């Protein structure tokens, strides 16, 4: 029999938190010992309940501080986006010092992970690439964590992609999007979207588009549950679901 893992969901009143509470409650090997949101003291609840794992689905403005308080005594599964590279490094050190795992997962949906994996592969054979990501109009950060991670993976696959400069002038600043690893990222924010992304590759006389559309937030739950169950065997930072699903 699998040992029971005790869990706190932080941000339970939000769109992702609501789904996460349902998913954890429905799993026979997980026990939800508390759910917290903006008006609760996360550190006091952690102290009182002593969970194995805290899942954070809150806001970019608070995620670094939340993560630091979680890692004092529990493993941290972080779905909240917006952590900087420097903050990730700090969290890795803190987690290792405390013998805890921290999973920072820009996207829990398997389809999105496959899109990123295929994009890394395609990058080896194509000359240019741009990313368009689409989210609902309440999303706090831009570009999305998934777009940033995709750009990083494409650059790992082909560090020369987009290296030929284009002969162009931006008539309106920002028209060509933000850039990460020399890859333009265009962020669309509209009601009606959950989380979609297209990675568009171009080469002579052809283009290749890899698209992933999230129809509902249920898409994120199987990945989240895997993370909760696997984090107990890890220490330090793991960044991206692909490193959990596709390793060994
Ligand atoms: N990794 C993934 O696969 C994935 C997928 C979708 C979304 N996300 C990310 O997950 C996060 C949550 O998304 P969402 O759509 O669920 O947002 P949301 O609906 O706004 O929910 C966030 C919840 O967290 C609460 N909150 C804000 N600050 C807090 C704090 N300091 N302590 C505790 N709770 C706090 C919010 O309260 P108020 O409303 O009162 O501010 C709200 O109840 C975002 O960063 C989003 O980008 C990740």
| pLDDT tens by residue, 62-91 | 999 999 999 999 999 999 999 999 999 999
Give start and end residues of each alpha helix (H) in the chain.
15-26, 42-49, 63-70, 85-97, 110-123, 145-157, 221-230, 242-245
Ligand 1 in contact with 58 (CB < 6 A)? yes
Residue 112 has pLDDT above 60, yes or no: yes
Residues with catalytic function: 135, 139
Instruction: Give the tens place of pLDDT for each residue, 170-205.
Output: 999 999 999 999 999 999 999 999 999 999 999 999
The DSSP symbol for 204 reads T
From 11, 77, 82, 219, the mutation candidate for ligand 1 (largest count of ligand atoms within 8 A of CB) is 11
From the CA of 126, how far away is ligand 1's center (Å)?
36
Instruction: Give the tens place of pLDDT for each residue, 43-57.
Output: 999 999 999 999 999
In angstroms, the Cα distances linking 54 to 42, 69, 242 are: 10, 10, 20
Ordered structural domains, the chain, with CATH: 5-104+217-245 (3.40.50.720), 110-214 (3.30.360.10)
Residue nearest to atom 15 of ligand 1 (CA): 15
Element housing 178 (H / E): strand 178-180
Looking from the CA of residue 195, the nearest atom of ligand 1 is 6
From the CA of 205, how far away is ligand 1's center (Å)?
42
What is the per-residue pLDDT for 20? 98
Ligand 1 in contact with 78 (CB < 6 A)? no
Place of tokens 């509902």: 216
Ligand 1 in contact with 240 (CB < 6 A)? no
8 A C-beta contact, residue 56 and residue 79: yes
Ligand 1 in contact with 37 (CB < 6 A)? yes
What is the per-residue pLDDT for 3? 73
The sheet with strand 53-56 has its strands ordered as: 30-36, 5-10, 53-56, 75-78, 101-104, 236-239
Q: Is the peptide bond before 227 cis (omega within 30 degrees of 0)?
A: no
Instruction: Count CA atoms within 13 Å of residue 12 on its CB side.
Output: 19
The predicted model scores a pTM of 0.93
**Tokens, residue 74:** 């529990």
Ligand 1 in contact with 79 (CB < 6 A)? yes
**Tokens, residue 241:** 């679901």
Residue nearest to atom 48 of ligand 1 (CA): 79
Residue nearest to atom 32 of ligand 1 (CA): 38
Average pLDDT (1-22) is 93
Ligand 1 in contact with 35 (CB < 6 A)? no
């Amino acid at each position: 029999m699998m040992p029971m893992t005790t869990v706190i969901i932080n941000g339970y009143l939000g769109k992702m938190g609501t789904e996460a509470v349902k998913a954890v409650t429905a799993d026979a090997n997980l026990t939800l010992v508390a759910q917290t949101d903006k008006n609760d003291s996360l550190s006091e609840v952690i102290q009182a309940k002593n969970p194995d794992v805290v899942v954070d689905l809150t806001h970019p403005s608070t995620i670094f501080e939340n993560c630091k308080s979680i890692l004092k005594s529990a493993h941290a599964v972080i779905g909240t986006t917006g952590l900087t590279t420097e903050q990730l490094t700090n969290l890795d050190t803190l987690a290792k010092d405390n013998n805890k795992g921290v999973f920072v997962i820009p996207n829990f949906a398997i389809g999105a992970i496959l899109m990123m994996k295929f994009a890394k592969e395609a990058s080896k054979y194509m000359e240019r690439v741009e990313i368009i990501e689409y989210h609902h109009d309440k999303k706090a950060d831009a570009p999305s964590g998934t777009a940033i991670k995709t750009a990083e993976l494409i650059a790992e696959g082909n560090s020369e992609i987009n290296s030929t400069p284009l002969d162009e002038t931006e008539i309106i600043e920002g028209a060509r999007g933000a850039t990460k690893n020399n890859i333009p990222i265009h962020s669309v924010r509209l009601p009606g979207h959950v989380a979609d992304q297209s990675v568009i590759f171009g080469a002579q006389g052809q283009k290749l588009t890899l698209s992933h559309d999230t129809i509902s937030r249920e898409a994120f739950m199987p990945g989240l549950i895997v993370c909760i169950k696997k984090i107990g065997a890890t220490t330090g930072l793991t960044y991206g679901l692909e490193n959990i699903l596709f390793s060994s």
